[in-house]
């Protein structure tokens, strides 16, 4: 890092409120309104402080519909400075300690909101689960197909409750989950907050238009999402685009079935997928299909389709 850039970052952080913001955002992502509640300051004032920290590369700004989340930078020179500053902060200071209590209150409120949403939709999820093999067995099969010892960064498309992000994050992987539903992201954030995993994140985006310009992940999972998609092949193609050479995609979804009520009552657009159909989309995306795993159970069979991106291959965006 150039000396002038380091000085700019230190100048940006050298103010009481901005140091308090760094301490809070080291605990997890927060919105402007959440930060204003904890700090007891006006939104324009907090927003100005946040802008200065973002401009210095210490924070990241993540728009999510009409909301905006902020977090410590994860990459770049500013990220290293932010981490070092956070390590030096006096967490025993009464003001900082009070702020952290405020963060815990925000986390509890998120959990309450998520619990209310989950309770309203629990019947839907419980019905689907009763039709197929225990989800724990699906997770174990997924872990066997994704070699965590060779994965640094993982993307979970359509993350829902964030369970797959938690599953891999708990094993040391930097796991990012994306979903279009703000309600589901609230559930995921509440679930991840209980784990205190600092290497797990979720964000809102369209699975057809992922925000990464090129290969950014060593593994991509698409868990029980493809049957909702209008264009499953396009989802697989977009997943392949952000996969690094030598990386792996694993798709977990249903084999073909005739439970038409899932389409009528639960918005399933596809009643499962044949192996040959998935293999065709995989090859169109420039990936190499791997052996398929089938997990029969109840009225539905869960299939796991894995595919690898040839080593040395670069996307057009990266070129």
Give the pLDDT confidence of 251-288 residue by residue, as tens digits: 999 999 988 888 777 778 888 999 999 999 999 999 99
Same domain as 178, residue 40: no
Instruction: Quote the number of domains for the chain.
Output: 2
pTM of the model: 0.76
- How confident is the model at residue 316, as a pLDDT? 39
Same domain as 82, residue 22: yes
Going from the C-alpha of 62 to that of each of 41, 54, 73, 121, the distances in angstroms are 21, 11, 11, 27
DSSP 310: P
Given the DSSP bridges, would you call strands 217-223 and 243-254 parallel, antiparallel or unpaired?
Answer: parallel
- Does the residue 209 lie in any domain? yes
Same domain as 289, residue 218: yes
- Does the residue 150 lie in any domain? yes
Cβ neighbours for 264, distance < 8 A, ≥ 6 positions apart: none
DSSP three-state, residue 29:
coil
Q: Given pLDDT bands bounded at 50, 70 and 90, which one contains residue 164?
A: very high
- The token duo for 108 is 């509890």
**Position of tokens 């894995």?**
306
Same domain as 214, residue 139: yes
Q: Could you say which of 63, 89, 115 is where a domain stops?
A: 89
- Does the residue 97 lie in any domain? no
What's the mean pLDDT in 176-180? 94
- The token duo for 302 is 């869960």
Q: Could you say which of 89, 108, 136 is where a domain stops?
A: 89
What's 64's domain CATH number? Answer: 1.10.10.10
Same domain as 192, residue 282: yes
- Does the residue 116 lie in any domain? no
What's the mean pLDDT in 101-109? 89
- Does the residue 144 lie in any domain? yes
- Does the residue 246 lie in any domain? yes
Same domain as 153, residue 84: no
Q: What confidence tens digit (pLDDT) does each residue in 110-122 have?
A: 777 756 655 666 5
Q: Answer whether residue 315 shows pLDDT above 50.
A: no
Which residues is 174 bridged to in the sheet?
A: 153
- The token duo for 179 is 């979903």
| Lowest mean pLDDT across 136-140, 191-195, 310-314 | 310-314
In terms of residue numbers, what domain contains 39? Answer: 3-89
Same domain as 250, residue 133: yes
Q: Which residues of 272-304 are buried (b: 16+ CB within 10 A; e: fewer)?
A: bbeeeebbebbeebebebbeebebeeeebbbbb
- Does the residue 16 lie in any domain? yes
Q: Could you say which of 64, 89, 114 is where a domain stops?
A: 89
Which residues is 304 bridged to in the sheet?
A: 252, 293
Q: Answer whether residue 213 shows pLDDT above 90.
A: yes
């Amino acid at each position: 890092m150039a000396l002038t850039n380091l000085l700019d970052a230190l100048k940006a952080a050298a103010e009481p409120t901005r140091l308090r913001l760094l301490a809070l955002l080291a605990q997890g992502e927060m919105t402007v309104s959440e930060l204003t509640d904890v700090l007891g300051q006006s939104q324009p004032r907090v927003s100005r402080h946040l802008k200065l920290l973002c401009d210095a590369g210490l924070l990241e700004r993540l728009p999510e519909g009409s909301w905006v989340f902020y977090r410590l930078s994860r990459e770049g020179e500013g990220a290293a400075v932010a981490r070092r500053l956070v390590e030096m902060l006096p967490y025993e200071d009464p003001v900082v300690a009070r702020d952290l209590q405020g963060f815990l209150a925000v986390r509890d409120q998120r959990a309450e909101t998520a619990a209310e949403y989950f309770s309203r939709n629990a019947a839907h999820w419980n019905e689907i689960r009763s039709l197929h093999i225990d989800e724990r067995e699906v997770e174990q099969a997924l872990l066997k197909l994704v070699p965590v010892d060779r994965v640094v960064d993982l993307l979970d498309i359509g993350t829902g409750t964030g369970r797959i992000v938690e599953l891999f994050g708990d094993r040391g992987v930097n796991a990012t989950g994306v979903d279009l539903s703000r309600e589901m992201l609230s559930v995921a954030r509440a679930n991840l907050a209980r784990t205190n995993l600092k290497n797990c994140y979720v964000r809102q985006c369209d699975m057809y238009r992922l925000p990464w310009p090129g290969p950014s992940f060593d593994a991509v999972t698409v868990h029980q999402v493809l049957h909702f998609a209008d264009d499953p092949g396009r989802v697989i193609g977009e997943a392949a685009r952000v996969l690094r050479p030598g990386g792996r995609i694993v798709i977990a979804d249903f084999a073909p079935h005739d439970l038409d009520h899932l389409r009528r009552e639960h918005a399933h657009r596809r009643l499962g997928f044949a192996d040959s159909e998935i293999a065709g989309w995989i090859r169109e995306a420039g990936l190499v299909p791997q052996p398929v795993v089938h997990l029969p159970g109840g009225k539905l069979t869960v299939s796991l389709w894995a595919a690898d991106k040839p080593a040395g291959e670069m996307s057009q965006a990266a070129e």
